[in-house]
Structure 1
Amino acid sequence: MSSWASSLADPKGGVAPSTTRVSNLANHLTRNARQLGDEPALIWGDAQWTWSQMDARVNALAAGMRDRFGVAKGDRILIQSQNCNQMFESMLACFRLGAVWVPANFRQTPEEVAWLAQSSGASGMIWGAEFPDHAAACDTPERNFTLVIGGTAGDDNDFDTLVQAHMGQTVPNAPVDRDDPCWFFFTSGTTGRPKASVLTHGQMAFVLLNHLNDLMPGTTHTARSLCLAPLSHGAGVHQMTQVAAGAATVLFPSGRFDPAVAWKIVQDHKISNMFTVPTIVKMLVEHESVGQYDTSSLKHMIYAGAPMYRADQKYALSVLGKVLVQYFGLGEVTGNITVLPPNEHFEDDDEMRIGSCGHPRTGIEISIQGNDGTEMPTGQQGEICVIGPAVFAGYYNNPEANTKSFRDGWFRTGDLGYVDEQGYLFITGRESDMYISGGSNIYPREIEEKILTHDDVSETAVLGVPDPVWGEVGIAVCVLRDNAGVSAETLQTWLKPKISSYKMPKRFIILDEMPKSAYGKITKKIIRETLEERGLLEQEVTS
Structure 2
Amino acid sequence: MTIASRFLSHTTTSPGRDAVAIGGNPGQRWSYDALRRGTLAVAQALRAEFGAAPGPEVRAAVLLGNRKEFLEIFFGAAVAGIPVMVLDPAWSATEVASVLRDTPPVRLFCETATGPIADNAPSGTVVEVAGHGFEDWLRRHGGREAADGFPEFAEVPENALFYVGFTSGSTGRPKGAVRSHRSWLRTFDHYTAEFGIDETDTILLPGSLAHSHFLFGAVHGLHAGATVHLMPLFDAGLVLDHVERYSVTQLYLVPTMFEALLEYARRHPGRSFPQVRSLLSAGAKWSPTRQALAGDLFPNADAVEFYGATELSLVSVLHGDDDGPRDSVGRPVAGVELSLRSPSGGEVGVNEVGKVHVRSDMLFTEYLSADHRGAPDEDGWFTVGDIGRVDEQGYLHLVGRDKGMLISGGLNVHPEEVTAALLRLEEIAEVAVVGLPDERWGDLVCAVVRWRDGARLDLAQIRDQASAYVSRQKCPRRLFETAELPHTTSGKIDNRRVRNILLDGGQGMRELL
Question: TM-score, normalising length from structure 1?
Answer: 0.85
Task: State the alpha-carbon separation in 2 of the partners of residues 504 and 422 from structure 1.
Answer: 27
Measured at CA, do residues 497 and 167 of structure 1 come closer, stay the same or move farther in structure 2, by a change above 3 Å? closer
| Corresponding position of 1:381 | 353
Residue aligning to 2:103: 120
In the TM superposition, residue 31 of structure 1 has moved relative to its aligned partner by 0.3
Match of 1:52 among 11, 30, 33: 33
**Which of residues 216, 236, 250 is equivalent to 1:237?**
216
Work out the percentage of aligned pairs sharing the same amino acid: 24
* CA-to-aligned-CA distance 1:215-240 (integer Å, 9 cap, x gap): x12x2212111111211222111211
Code of the aligned partner of 1:39? R
Matched, 1:137 2:119: yes
Alignment partner, residue 206 of structure 1: 186
2-side partners of 1:449 and 1:205: how far apart?
33
Gap change, CA 1:507 and 1:154, over 3 Å in 2: closer
> Equivalents in 2 of 1:154, 1:496: separation in Å?
57
1:130-188 C-alpha deviation (Å, 9 max, x unpaired): x62242133225xx432212224798458999865665254434422232100011122
1:67 is matched with 48
Residue in structure 1 matching 2:260, options 271, 283, 288 = 283
Name the residue aligned to 1:329.
308
| Correspondence list, 1:362-401, <5 A | 362-398=334-370, 401=373
How far, CA to CA, are the matches of 1:460 and 1:213 in structure 2? 34
SS of structure 2 residue aligned to 1:132? coil
Shift in CA distance, 156/37, structure 1 to aligned 2, threshold 3 Å: closer
How many aligned positions are there?
499
Contact preservation (8 Å) 1:111, 1:137: no
3-state SS in 2 of match to 1:367: strand
Q: 1:170/1:158 Cα in 2 relative to 1: closer, same or farther (>3 Å)?
A: closer
**2:55 maps to 1:83:** no
Secondary structure of 1:411's counterpart equals coil
**Alignment RMSD, CA only?**
2.8
Structure 2 residue runs without a partner (length 5+):
none
For the residues of structure 1 that align with 2:99 and 2:272, how far apart are their CA atoms?
42
Seen in structure 2, the aligned counterparts of structure 1 residues 155 and 286 have a Cα distance that, compared at 3 Å, is: closer
Tell me if 1:496 matches 2:473: no
TM-score of the pair, normalised by structure 2: 0.90
C-alpha change, 1:423 and 1:121, in structure 2 (3 Å) is same
Counterparts of 1:201 and 1:275, CA distance in 2 = 22
Establish whether residue 470 from structure 1 lines up as the match of residue 467 from structure 2: no
Q: Classify the secondary structure of the residue corresponding to 1:413.
A: coil
User: 1:505/1:101 Cα in 2 relative to 1: closer, same or farther (>3 Å)?
Assistant: same
Pick one of 330, 338, 341 that aligns with 2:319.
341
Residue 538 of structure 1, CA deviation: 12
- In the alignment, is the contact (CA less than 8 A) between 2:388 and 2:398 conserved in 1? yes
- 2:229 partner amino acid: V
Partner of 2:77: 94
Q: Offset at 1:495?
A: 2.2
CA displacement, residues 226-264 of structure 1 (integer Å, 9 cap, x when unaligned): 111211222111211111111110011x24x22110011
CA distance in 1, matches of 2:135, 2:271: 44
Distance in 2 (CA, whole Å) between partners of 1:149 and 1:160 is 14
Equivalent position of 2:158 in the other structure: 178
Q: Return the letter of the residue paired with 1:526.
A: R
Q: 1:520 aligns with which of 484, 491, 501?
A: 491
Q: Residue 458 of structure 2: SS of its match in structure 1?
A: helix
Letter of the 1:482 counterpart: D
Q: Structure 1 residue 423 and structure 2 residue 417: aligned?
A: no
CA contact under 8 A between 1:63 and 1:170: conserved in structure 2? no
CA distance in 1 between partners of 2:507 and 2:484 (Å): 15
Q: CA deviation at 1:341?
A: 2.0
Q: Aligned pair in 2 of structure 1 residues 314, 117: CA closer, same or farther (>3 Å)?
A: same
Question: Does the CA-based 8 Å contact 2:59-2:84 persist in structure 1?
Answer: yes
User: What is residue 4 of structure 1 aligned with on the other side?
Assistant: none
Deviation for aligned residue 1:63: 2.0
Deviation of the 1:462 alpha carbon: 1.1
Deviation per CA, 1:83-119, whole angstroms, max 9, x where unpaired? 1111111100110100011111110123312322233
Given that 1:60 and 1:169 are in contact with CA atoms closer than 8 Å, whether structure 2 keeps it comes out as no
